[in-house]
């Protein structure tokens, strides 16, 4: 082989090597490049959209009102939806954060890490409960979880129509199927209201109805709207199976915090932000003193600060 053939062979090999390098480098950069990159918002300014489980509309309205009043350059546009729709919004480029009754599983975390090229962060910020509400004319007011389960699966002697904020996709429906029915189908007579306020209105006008809503809709006795709701319906007491004397308790804060009330659940944020943006700023607010105090005032249980529980004689 002469020198010219050697040079030609070297040039071909070098060209192929350069092309291969560029392909590998391009692939490497594309896999490392995140789908969501820094925007023009900061911890306290800018505009973002978030999706929130409709069950928590009253308490989240209070949180946003205080946060935005403290940061006039910030604008958070909230979309209240059923929980399943909120979870779908994690794939929506315009939605920065969702607030629901669950975080992400290990499998979901891996999926979103692969899709977004970074891990969304999530955490529990408060404890909530599903309240059981009755018409004011109802003769019943005490139930066990077994009673509720029998009504849901259609084997109960009670003749109530069960009212929920939808027949699927909502956090309340999912909770009742997962935690009460333990995955079994819901075969009872179920009426689907459009939202939590619709549940209250239906129960208030139907003596044979029993409804299930988040406690933040009726727990705050300092809220005039919720006081008007409480004039329409009353809250049932559920049996505490873990208590020595098995009393019947209502979803008061102390009973939620100590897990005496059986239908308790968590409230979580899921944030898909890989820089210090407005979503992170709102999370900081929710998880620190002011946001936690708002949860406490709204009769949820703050999970990021101590809640003092004192003994008192209360007739439940």
Q: Which of 131, 118, 147, 127 is nearest to 33 (CA)?
A: 118
Higher pLDDT, 168 or 128: 128
Between CA 146 and CA 287, with CA 263 as vertex, the angle to 5 degrees is 170
The CATH number of domain 46-127+265-302, selected from 3.40.50.720, 3.40.50.10680, 3.40.190.10, 3.30.360.10:
3.40.190.10
Token match 């999706």: residue? 51
Extents of the domains making up the chain: 46-127+265-302, 129-264
Domains 46-127+265-302 and 129-264 share a fold: yes
Separation CA 198–CA 212 (nearest Å):
11
Cα-flanking dihedrals φ and ψ of residue 57, to 5°?
A: -55, -45
Report the CATH fold assignment for 129-264: D-Maltodextrin-Binding Protein; domain 2 (3.40.190)
CA distances for 150 relative to 160, 188, 263, angstroms: 11, 8, 15
Element (H, E) at 116: helix 106-116
What's the pLDDT score for residue 315? 52
Q: pLDDT tens, 112-161?
A: 999 988 999 999 999 999 999 999 999 999 999 999 999 999 999 998 99
Residue 301: beta bridge partners? 127
* Four-residue CA torsion sign, 110, 125, 58, 229: positive
Helices (H) and strands (E) in the chain, counts: 11, 13
> From the CB of residue 174, how many other CB atoms can be counted at a distance below 10 Å?
18
Check if the beta carbon of residue 140 is closer than 8 Å to that of residue 134: yes
> From the CB of residue 94, how many other CB atoms can be counted at a distance below 10 Å?
10
Confidence of residue 169 (pLDDT cuts 50, 70, 90): confident
Q: pLDDT tens, 237-270?
A: 999 988 888 899 999 999 999 999 999 999 999 9
Check if the beta carbon of residue 80 is closer than 8 Å to that of residue 55: no
Strands (E), the chain: 46-53, 74-81, 95-100, 121-135, 142-143, 161-164, 190-192, 209-214, 233-235, 237-239, 248-249, 264-271, 301-302
């Amino acid at each position: 082989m002469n020198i010219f053939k050697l040079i030609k062979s070297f040039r071909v090999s070098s060209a192929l090597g350069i092309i291969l390098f560029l392909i590998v480098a391009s692939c490497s950069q594309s896999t490392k490049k995140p789908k969501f990159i820094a925007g023009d918002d900061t911890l306290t300014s800018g505009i973002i959209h978030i999706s929130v489980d409709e069950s928590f509309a009253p308490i989240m309205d209070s949180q946003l009102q205080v946060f935005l009043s403290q940061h006039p350059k910030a604008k958070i546009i909230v979309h209240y939806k059923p929980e399943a729709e909120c979870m779908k919004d994690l794939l929506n480029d315009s939605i920065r954060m969702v607030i629901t009754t669950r975080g992400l599983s290990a499998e979901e975390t891996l999926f979103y890490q692969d899709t977004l090229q970074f891990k969304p962060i999530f955490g529990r910020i408060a404890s909530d409960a599903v309240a059981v509400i009755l018409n004011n004319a109802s003769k019943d007011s005490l139930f066990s979880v077994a009673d509720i389960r029998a009504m849901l699966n259609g084997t109960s002697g009670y003749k109530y129509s069960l009212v929920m904020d939808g027949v699927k996709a909502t956090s309340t429906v999912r909770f009742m199927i997962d935690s009460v029915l333990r995955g079994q189908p819901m075969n009872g007579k179920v009426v689907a209201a459009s939202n939590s306020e619709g549940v209250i209105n239906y129960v208030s006008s139907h003596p044979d109805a029993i409804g299930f809503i988040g406690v933040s809709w009726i727990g705050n006795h300092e809220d005039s709207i919720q006081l008007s709701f409480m004039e329409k319906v009353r809250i049932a007491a559920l049996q505490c199976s873990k208590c020595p004397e098995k009393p019947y308790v209502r979803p008061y804060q102390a009973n939620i915090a100590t897990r005496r009330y059986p239908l308790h659940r968590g409230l979580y944020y899921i944030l898909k932000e890989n820089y210090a943006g407005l979503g992170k700023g709102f999370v900081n607010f929710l998880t620190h003193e002011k946001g936690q105090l708002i949860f406490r005032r709204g009769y949820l249980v703050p999970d990021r600060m101590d809640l003092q529980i004192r003994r008192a004689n209360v007739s439940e």
